[in-house]
Structure 1
Amino acid sequence: MAAVATASAPALESLGRHDQTLLLFAGLMEGGKEDEETVADMGKLTRLLNEDVELVKKGEQTITSVIDSDCVDTIVCYLDMRNPEIVRAHATLCTSAYLKASGEEGSRHLSEFFHARVRRGTYDDYIVAFCVAAAIFPIVPDLTSELFLSEGFIASLGPLMRRKWKSRKVETACLEMLNAACMHSHCREAVQKYCIDWLEEIVDQDPDNAVRAMYATDPDVHTQEGSISMRQHSQHVQNLAAVVLAKLRAVPAQSSGNQPGQGSEPRIQSATTSIEDLSKRFTKMLVDDPEHVQSSVEGLAYASLRPSVRDSLAGDKESLTRLLKALEFAPSKSPLTYGALSIFVNLTRYQPRETEEQKRLKQLKAYANAAGKLQADPLTDDAHVAERCKRVFEAGITPVLVAHGRNGSAASLSLIVSIVYSLSMTPALRGQLAQQGAVRLLMGAWVTFPEKDDAARRTAAQALARILISTDPSLVFGGTRPIPQAAAIRPLASILTTDPTSDTRDLLPPFEALLALTNLASTDNDTRRAIVRTAWDDIEEQLFAANTRVSTAAVELVCNIVQSPDEALSLFGDGSPRAENRLRVVLALADAEDAKTRSAAGGALAALTGYEAVVGAVVAQPRGPAVVLGLCRDAESEGIRHRGVVVVGNMLSAEGGVGQLAKEKLTEAGAMEALADCAKKSRTPDVVQAVVQVLELLLGPK
């Protein structure tokens, strides 16, 4: 068998798939091999199993037919915690591939393995069974939860963990299994019901008290070598139990319905360890016990779901710094990275915006439940979240997020974007976020996220928009490693329309995208051209928005776009019906009730009427001259009156017949009176001087 098992790779490849499978299992069963050889064999077996799924669809016979229960035992025993981490990792991949390829047959083999090991009941069998359950929970949660919830199994864990003589390996394996089981709601309910008391006992164990109790019951204990340590729970076991407790406290089990004879009141518990107590334990571990940083981070990831824990953690500068260091040096795509990022997401997350209708429905539901008006936790309001964001930012999180964003997993990148999104809510932080690389990070994330992940892409785009609203584009996109400014346009354009999958119509993303594009359009003609090419249809649609702030932002963007001669003429001056309709919209906005809207539209007209074709189109509109003169008469803003005077001056300065026609139409509409009224209302010398110059054009020969 050994000679066959060590066959070279070319010899293996020359065999059929079934023979290759048997040969690999022979090698894995052999034992006594170097870890590198074991990992290589499992890698080849995993590849065969993954290929088998596709080949079976094409009509070939599955290789799982030669994999019996002994083979399954061989694979899953490599999941034992006593094996090196790299071996366990490859065994997990191999087990996952086998379960996918084998279907119900593989599930049956795994179930038989688990129940057989538990029935034997030796420490060694418990360790293997618990390790296997913990490893496969994320792979086949339905199957594993069925094994976990089998009659009598969970209830048997208490006596096992309370045995006088402790096996730390058994305890560790058991708690890792419970930790994984808490991902499943029904399993979490079972853990809450059967395990909460002894979990509390483990966490609350005081080593000094335990030793005193041993001496009190057995005065000769000191003569028994190693007995004291073997009758105590280790620190690592206590930490794992605390993590499980944190999951139970932070995500309370919800019963699907009351059992007969049960009331609606929760079971009275003797537990004294609150989520706040657990969080203090985790933060102390973080500072004092670097070896158990994974447990402390995982525990805090759940504990920080509670507002009180978030506020306490954000206010603890030392713990925040240690947590950030843990994230900084955590390997990419590791559980430690994901856990630390989850904590920072919890610390910085704002409450979702609610419409008035949603608030009313929530209140009615509260009354229906006899709870009265719902009182939100004050620690979740925007002011408290903003303060936590400030502290997290000041701790130096941005460079760490940027570094992890380069090589992180898709799940980690989504968390990173969520954190930056929350930080960008504070205007004072936006410039520093840009300086520290957040713009490049968000643009890269938007490209990296698949199109089907619309929520993540919209979050990245909105965070980018907020930063670009408040920063000088020349500073953001300049420097020694310049970022192409045009690369920001597509992400911003993607949120110009509201989210089609949302139940509510959130106008904030389009509004912020318009403001950011307006800032970019203030720079150069190439950027303006790129904006028109990428997003004009959506920009034009927002001119008609019912929300005044959105339509105003759209016309402000148009005002900056038409500073480019090419864009002004192609959009408004080519004589087409579409150009005529666009101009009619701008004129209507120049006569709007909102002063900011009138000001933006007046600025756009001031740029557009510099072209003869547009002047002719304005004059051709029945109310065109009257709207322009209305700007000159504006009672609220001297800036709007100034824009009106500039527009009149441009129209009177047009060459040839267009200029003469403009003079006639403006005179008929009362230009003299409007300009005189403008001069009386204005106090700025520049405006008065502009009125005088325009009056000279109006009264002079054409």
Structure 2
Amino acid sequence: MGGIKIPVVIKSEITADESVNPTTPVPETGSRQDRTMLLFARVMEGGKEDEETTADLAKLTKLLVEEPELTKQGKEPIVPVIDADCLDTLFGCLDMRQPEAVRTQATLCTAAYLNASGLEGKRKVTDFFHAKMQRATYDDYIVAFCAATAIFPLEYDLMAELFHIEGFLPSLGSLMTRKWKSKKIEMACLKMLNAAAMKIKCHAAIYKYCNEWLDDIISDDIEARLDTVWHLDTDLEVEKEGADELRRHCKQVRNLAGVVYMKISAVPVSASQGLGTEPRKPATDKIEILCNRFAKMIVEDNPENPEYVQYAVEALAYASLRPNIQERLSRNTETLKRLVTVLDSAAPKSPLTYGVLSIFTHLTRYRPHESEEQKRLRQLKAYANAAGKSQPNPLSDDARVTERCKLVFAAGVVPVLVKHCKSASLASLSLIISILFSLSATPTLRGSLAQQGGVRVLLAAWNALPAETEDTARRTAAHGLARILISTNPALVFRQTPQTAAIRPLATLIAPADPTAETRDLLPTFESLLALTNLASTDDDADTTRRVIVRTAWDDIEEQLFSTNTRVSTAAAELLCNLVQSPAAQAQAQATNRTKVILALADADSPKTRSAAGGALASLTAHASIARTILTTAAQPRGLDHILGLCREGQEEGGGESAGPAEAEGIRHRGAVVVANLLSQEGELGLLAREKLARAGAVEALTVCAKKSRTPEVVQSVVRCLEVLLGGE
């Protein structure tokens, strides 16, 4: 077969004496139409260096990129002069037999043309493919398939329409199963199918019409093929010995066929998408065999065939959606480490980078968190659907995913993620966030994640992602940050970055993502409150962190004190206990309604909530204004009863959940400090405190507290309070 022969048709006023020399520069003056046709003429010229062709295509791209804006300004359009021969020239540069630099620039030029030409350009693209299919030579097939591969990501809907032309897909089978094959046309066809299988519009159609011969290429049964050849009526004399290589598909073709097969079989897409209702054959065994093959390809070093690694990564990215493949890959230490190495050396924003990140995302992804109501509803649906067939795969249980996360972390993926974060695309950045978020679910990994730069990456990602379009990814980054900060010492994590940088991301999680939703996931709220509590416990002398938390999130924190979820309200109370050490929080708590809430929480069912509320009151009642509010307000008549209830903690007839011995001792200590603070107020306020506490039964409550307590500090506080109450001092 010869190369691609494209007729030279130049539609401009260039005379025969002004023939185009490949080395003649394109003038920057003159009409845009003439410059366009001159550039196409130069690309059509044979015998040019690749650099010259690439430069001419780059100039064409620039003219086409400027076309929409200049046309609006009334300038002459250049799209009308780009006829079928020009498109034939441009799409010929997309041929896989062309150098990569030429193909890359031709792809950019094609994208610019489709954007500038609109419906007219789509019509010409359709005519181009119809013409190529009608001529049906090997060269025509190769150019058409390569052009389709490049255009699919640019205009998927347009190519999908051409893809579904009656008879097109079934005809590929006869093209791919001829007894004497062309490697180039096979590769071009498979590359097109690989691009088409990315979305549902073509996915099911490929399965229906191409599954059988794809399976045949993957298996490549030599003996069966030989038997077929010997029974064919052919005048070629074929010897059985030494003829295998002529009749079998080459390794590259088998690998790419495996990638396409993986896409149409591993992803659970119904084959009945407008193509009938035939059931899909189980492909689990074939997928596992292919996974083993691609895992070996990744481990093997193939510097002369870098496409092998790309094929392997792309196939495993689809296969790893299946739990059984996730288990196999995660326990293959050699493959995991090799994937980390491939990611480390991959170019930023490349398909290879995205593919490896997708694999790690699938290996570490947990099932979505379900409320108890959602679990019951899913179980009912499972029982109603063929006796529970839709039950979750046990390989996706949290315990299994946790083990996979530990194996992925041990392979050394985090430092490489930190490296790629600096120049990652938005899509890759979202995958990096997802991986770190999953790893942060394991408490034993959180310290190492912080040490290896996980906190820095999540903070940078949260700030880099646009809030308007990437709100989900930002919340995931903030949630991962919260998990790490729950279990680590902020003083060790924030050595180079101020810890106040983490407050805004954490504060966004306190309020629910969708306040109108019927069911809410409170886990982000709960864990962000815990993380903020940890930050508020280690502040500097300037009280910076607490002041920023109060300024940024006080209202949301206060709202969570009323949460119907006990754990959330307790976490909010514990955070409040740490915040009221700050004058800024004390000023916020001056209002009566804040004091009422804290007093009410002192009588909560949860001992942790009672402890947190007691701690907050122990700090606040040292101030005369707060003490006056508690003693004089009529809005909380049982406020002193709740305070004395802290002193009685551990008494059998007390309400709420029972606290452990150590926890009960702490609650009693907080109650004794609150009573001491009230009694220590000066003047009339101190007299009022003594009178109201005595009337509320403070002597009896403090006596119980003294008898039950074993800590000297608690006993001493109680004794001083009793001396004031009984001695009248």
What TM-score does the superposition give when structure 2 sets the normalisation length? 0.89
The aligned residue for residue 567 of structure 1 is 584
Quick one: distance in 1 between partners of 2:74 and 2:557?
53
The aligned residue for residue 709 of structure 2 is 682
The aligned residue for residue 432 of structure 2 is 416
The aligned residue for residue 9 of structure 2 is none
Alignment equivalent of 1:494, drawn from 502, 508, 513: 508
The aligned residue for residue 618 of structure 1 is 630
The aligned residue for residue 485 of structure 2 is 468
Alignment equivalent of 1:580, drawn from 592, 596, 606: 592
Quick one: distance in 2 between partners of 1:507 and 1:201?
51
The aligned residue for residue 335 of structure 1 is 351
- Aligned counterparts, 1:315-354, within 5 A: 315-354=331-370
Q: Aligned-pair distance for 1:691?
A: 1.2
The aligned residue for residue 641 of structure 1 is 668
Alignment equivalent of 1:631, drawn from 642, 646, 650: 646
The aligned residue for residue 240 of structure 1 is 256
Quick one: distance in 2 between partners of 1:656 and 1:671?
20
The aligned residue for residue 439 of structure 1 is 455
Contact kept in structure 2, 1:398 and 1:433, CA below 8 Å: yes
The aligned residue for residue 596 of structure 1 is 608
**2:555 matches 1:537:** yes
Moved more, 85-94 or 448-457: 85-94
Quick one: distance in 2 between partners of 1:233 and 1:505?
54
Identity %: 59
- Aligned counterparts, 1:145-294, within 5 A: 145-205=160-220, 221=238, 228-256=244-272, 266=279, 274-288=286-300, 290=302, 291=305, 292-294=308-310
Q: Aligned-pair distance for 1:257?
A: 6.3
**1:528/1:203 Cα in 2 relative to 1: closer, same or farther (>3 Å)?**
same
Moved more, 287-296 or 32-41: 32-41
Quick one: distance in 1 between partners of 2:708 and 2:74?
88
Quick one: distance in 1 between partners of 2:518 and 2:431?
23
Please list the CA deviations of residues 337-373 of structure 1 after superposition, one character each: whole Å capped at 9, or x if unmatched: 1111111111111111223443344344445544446
Q: Aligned-pair distance for 1:157?
A: 0.9
The aligned residue for residue 4 of structure 2 is none
Tell me the secondary structure at the aligned position of residue 422 of structure 2.
Answer: helix
Q: Aligned-pair distance for 1:116?
A: 1.3
Q: Aligned-pair distance for 1:59?
A: 5.4
Alignment equivalent of 1:657, drawn from 680, 684, 690: 684
- Aligned counterparts, 1:306-455, within 5 A: 306-372=322-388, 374-452=390-468, 453-455=470-472
The aligned residue for residue 98 of structure 2 is 83
Quick one: distance in 1 between partners of 2:520 and 2:73?
47
Moved more, 659-668 or 212-221: 212-221
Q: Which amino acid in the other structure matches residue 267 of structure 2?
A: V
Quick one: distance in 2 between partners of 1:544 and 1:358?
24
Alignment equivalent of 2:312, drawn from 274, 282, 296: 296
The aligned residue for residue 695 of structure 2 is 668
Quick one: distance in 2 between partners of 1:440 and 1:451?
19
Quick one: distance in 1 between partners of 2:206 and 2:249?
19
Quick one: distance in 2 between partners of 1:173 and 1:94?
20
Tell me the secondary structure at the aligned position of residue 195 of structure 1.
Answer: helix
Q: Which amino acid in the other structure matches residue 497 of structure 1?
A: A
**2:722 matches 1:698:** no
**1:489/1:8 Cα in 2 relative to 1: closer, same or farther (>3 Å)?**
farther
Quick one: distance in 2 between partners of 1:555 and 1:267?
55
Quick one: distance in 2 between partners of 1:655 and 1:48?
84
**1:503/1:246 Cα in 2 relative to 1: closer, same or farther (>3 Å)?**
farther
The aligned residue for residue 83 of structure 2 is 68
Quick one: distance in 2 between partners of 1:102 and 1:304?
40
**1:17/1:386 Cα in 2 relative to 1: closer, same or farther (>3 Å)?**
same
Contact kept in structure 1, 2:142 and 2:188, CA below 8 Å: yes
Tell me the secondary structure at the aligned position of residue 80 of structure 1.
Answer: coil
**2:56 matches 1:38:** no
Q: Aligned-pair distance for 1:423?
A: 0.6
Quick one: distance in 1 between partners of 2:400 and 2:148?
41
Tell me the secondary structure at the aligned position of residue 138 of structure 1.
Answer: coil
Q: Aligned-pair distance for 1:227?
A: 6.4
Q: How many residues align?
A: 686
Q: Aligned-pair distance for 1:616?
A: 1.5
Q: Aligned-pair distance for 1:4?
A: 7.8
Gaps of 5+ in 1: 574-578
Please list the CA deviations of residues 507-560 of structure 1 after superposition, one character each: whole Å capped at 9, or x if unmatched: 111111111011011111101111111212211211121111111111111111
Please list the CA deviations of residues 278-308 of structure 1 after superposition, one character each: whole Å capped at 9, or x if unmatched: 1111112112353311111111111111111
Q: Aligned-pair distance for 1:237?
A: 0.5
**1:148/1:468 Cα in 2 relative to 1: closer, same or farther (>3 Å)?**
same
Contact kept in structure 1, 2:550 and 2:585, CA below 8 Å: no
Q: Aligned-pair distance for 1:41?
A: 2.8
**1:189/1:645 Cα in 2 relative to 1: closer, same or farther (>3 Å)?**
same
Moved more, 373-382 or 548-557: 373-382
Tell me the secondary structure at the aligned position of residue 583 of structure 1.
Answer: helix
Moved more, 652-661 or 72-81: 652-661
**2:117 matches 1:105:** no
Contact kept in structure 2, 1:465 and 1:516, CA below 8 Å: yes
Quick one: distance in 2 between partners of 1:268 and 1:518?
54
The aligned residue for residue 575 of structure 2 is 557
Q: Which amino acid in the other structure matches residue 103 of structure 1?
A: G
**1:133/1:377 Cα in 2 relative to 1: closer, same or farther (>3 Å)?**
same
Tell me the secondary structure at the aligned position of residue 392 of structure 2.
Answer: coil
Q: Aligned-pair distance for 1:569?
A: 3.2
Q: Aligned-pair distance for 1:683?
A: 2.5
The aligned residue for residue 92 of structure 1 is 107
Contact kept in structure 1, 2:271 and 2:279, CA below 8 Å: no
Alignment equivalent of 1:114, drawn from 120, 129, 141: 129
Contact kept in structure 1, 2:93 and 2:106, CA below 8 Å: yes
The aligned residue for residue 608 of structure 1 is 620
Q: Which amino acid in the other structure matches residue 673 of structure 1?
A: E
Contact kept in structure 1, 2:329 and 2:336, CA below 8 Å: yes
Q: Which amino acid in the other structure matches residue 309 of structure 1?
A: I
Tell me the secondary structure at the aligned position of residue 391 of structure 2.
Answer: coil
**1:650/1:252 Cα in 2 relative to 1: closer, same or farther (>3 Å)?**
closer
Quick one: distance in 2 between partners of 1:125 and 1:596?
75
Please list the CA deviations of residues 238-264 of structure 1 after superposition, one character each: whole Å capped at 9, or x if unmatched: 0001111111211244245687xx7x5
The aligned residue for residue 547 of structure 1 is 565
**1:581/1:267 Cα in 2 relative to 1: closer, same or farther (>3 Å)?**
closer
**1:660/1:505 Cα in 2 relative to 1: closer, same or farther (>3 Å)?**
same
Q: Aligned-pair distance for 1:17?
A: 3.6
What TM-score does the superposition give when structure 1 sets the normalisation length? 0.92
Q: Aligned-pair distance for 1:626?
A: 2.4
Q: Which amino acid in the other structure matches residue 337 of structure 2?
A: T
Quick one: distance in 1 between partners of 2:228 and 2:270?
38
Tell me the secondary structure at the aligned position of residue 425 of structure 1.
Answer: coil
State the Cα RMSD in Å.
2.6
Q: Aligned-pair distance for 1:381?
A: 0.6
